[in-house]
Structure 1
Amino acid sequence: MKKKILLPTDFSQNAWNAIEYATELYKNETCDFYILNAFNASGYALESMMVPEPGEKLYEEAKEKSEQGLSKILERLSFRNDEREHKFFMVSQFNGLLDAIKDIVDKQDIEMIIMGTKGSSNAVDVIFGSNTVMVMEKSRNCPVMAIPEDATYKDLEEIVFPTDYKMNFKRRELQNIIEVAKMSKAAIRVLYASDGDPLSEEQENNQNLLKEYFEGLTYTFHTLTNLDAPSAVRCFVESRESDMIAFFNRKHSFFGSIFSKPMVKSLGRYAKVPVLAIHDLRG
């Protein structure tokens, strides 16, 4: 079955790196890739409170720049001589990034967003750019995979899945992790940062649910004691040279604590691996 993947770009090197990573990850799949550039008319007098319309100089200049950038990406992709069943659709949209993403996700029934972790500003102290974190948090009807600037694709061997076992996952909510694991033949390493207390009955039940859902895949359970969640993830990923981290992003929860400042820095400075954010589908 054909997959539909959205690749937002601001024409930075990091965004191109994310495109390359995505095409490698899905190299054996039939895919439609939608490469999106959301543009605006920079320099437009904000105090006028008017939005430039098609035909106006600033709008047309911004649109042309966006379309030229997308043409260059398509040209780079066309140089590949391989037999992959990949189609590329270039989308230039006058809109804010999040609204443009939501529009394409809805219209094209996108099942995964893959984007770079930094924008074109590439500030050294910003690990996950504000746009990436915003899309991870707000695009709740579609999983988001963030690709660090230094990540080059290699076949996935293991995906780290941190959890506190306090939520009874639904199978469909884990479908994206399961699909990526199947597609890449990667093992899933379930990681629990423990305070030393034994698992409660509820936590044990939720662990058993994961065993049920991951049946047929390679998976193992791991516990690190007396470390906070970000430190546990960092130590585990670094020591094992894991290939991907998958977070379950339920509202106001574990994910938010990991990616809020200064937590994002404690993970981010060591995050050379892609991060997959999957969402709570229960509203």
Structure 2
Amino acid sequence: MYKRILVPTDFSKNALNAVRYALDLYAKLNCEFYFLNVFKLENYTTDALIIPEPGSQEFEIAKAKSEENFVKLLDMLALHHDNPKHIYHTIPTFTFLSAAIKKTISNKDINLVVMGTKGASGAKEVIFGSNTVKTMEIVSECPVLAIPADIRFSPPKEIVFPTDFKSGFKRKELNYLIEIAKMHGSTIRILHVSKKQILKPEQEENKILLDNILDEVAHSFHSLTEKNIADSITTFVESRDSDMIAFINQRHFFFEKIFTKPLIKEIGYDATVPILALH
């Protein structure tokens, strides 16, 4: 059975880097990759009263340019990433990125979304503050993997999994984390950051549950007594030279704390490892 992976791209260097990372991460699995490009029309803005229609000159020129870039991308992949386990599809479209991603996930039964953390402009405000975080917010059907700019793939030997143990865990929501760990022989480091070291009884129960779910992969538990969650995670990852951060996207706790604007800069702009948002 093929895993279906969606990779939005604007054909920038950073988007290409995300493509390469995804191909290498899942090199051992049968996968169908769907490359999605939301093309732009030079003279069209969201304030325009008339939306360009398919068949109009401006629309067809923009679509043709998108398709031309897809040809170049596939030629490059054929040259450098010729993997018989992988099948490639291209989707050029004119709409909002979030809508295009949601539609493709639904229509193609996508299992995972992989995105670069910078757009073609490279501007800081569109790294984690815009498209990537928005995708993590709106996509609840599957995990989202964000790849920092310029990072080169190496098998993830250590994956940091921050949690507060306040919510229960389900094996299904951790499947992708376990799958990646199995594929690459990764060790999962569960990190608890809190002002207090002592866990409440329900937290202890959830910790035991997580221990049982992860019994088939190498894992260990760690704790830090700190006020700033983002700083603690960053310090932990950097001190251990970890390869990835994975977390369960629970908006009421971790997501809001990590991806509020002050913390985006700390973990997003200066990210040195991929971040996997699980659901």
Give the TM-score normalised by the residue count of structure 1.
0.94
The one-letter code matched in structure 2 to 1:10 is D
Give runs of aligned pairs for residues 28-67 of structure 1, distance below 5 A: 28-44=28-44, 47-67=47-67
Contact 1:34/1:89 (CA < 8 Å) preserved in 2?
yes
Alignment-derived partner of residue 204 in structure 1: 204
Aligned to 2:122, the other structure's residue is in SS state coil
Q: Is 248-257 or 9-18 further displaced after alignment?
A: 248-257
Shift, 1:266, TM fit? 1.9
The one-letter code matched in structure 1 to 2:252 is H
Give runs of aligned pairs for residues 88-99 of structure 1, distance below 5 A: 88-99=88-99
Q: Any gaps of 5 or more consecutive residues in structure 2? A: none
Give runs of aligned pairs for residues 1-283 of structure 1, distance below 5 A: 1-44=1-44, 47-80=47-80, 82-124=82-124, 127-279=127-279
Structure 2 CA distance for partners of 1:250 and 1:11, relative to 1, 3 Å: same
Contact 2:116/2:148 (CA < 8 Å) preserved in 1?
yes
Separation of aligned partners in 2, 1:149 and 1:50: 36
Structure 2 CA distance for partners of 1:126 and 1:57, relative to 1, 3 Å: closer
Q: Any gaps of 5 or more consecutive residues in structure 1? A: none
Separation of aligned partners in 1, 2:250 and 2:46: 36
Separation of aligned partners in 2, 1:108 and 1:198: 45
Deviations 1:236-272 (A, max 9, x none): 1000010000011112321121011101112234411
Shift, 1:80, TM fit? 2.9
Shift, 1:74, TM fit? 0.6
Separation of aligned partners in 1, 2:176 and 2:31: 15
Contact 2:157/2:186 (CA < 8 Å) preserved in 1?
yes
Separation of aligned partners in 1, 2:142 and 2:15: 19
Contact 1:234/1:270 (CA < 8 Å) preserved in 2?
no
Separation of aligned partners in 2, 1:46 and 1:262: 28
Contact 2:246/2:276 (CA < 8 Å) preserved in 1?
yes
Aligned to 2:80, the other structure's residue is in SS state coil
Separation of aligned partners in 1, 2:135 and 2:243: 22
Aligned residues: 279
The one-letter code matched in structure 2 to 1:210 is L
Separation of aligned partners in 2, 1:270 and 1:261: 13
Separation of aligned partners in 2, 1:111 and 1:155: 20
Structure 2 CA distance for partners of 1:48 and 1:224, relative to 1, 3 Å: closer
Separation of aligned partners in 1, 2:119 and 2:71: 20
Deviations 1:210-255 (A, max 9, x none): 0111011000000011242111100110000100000111123211
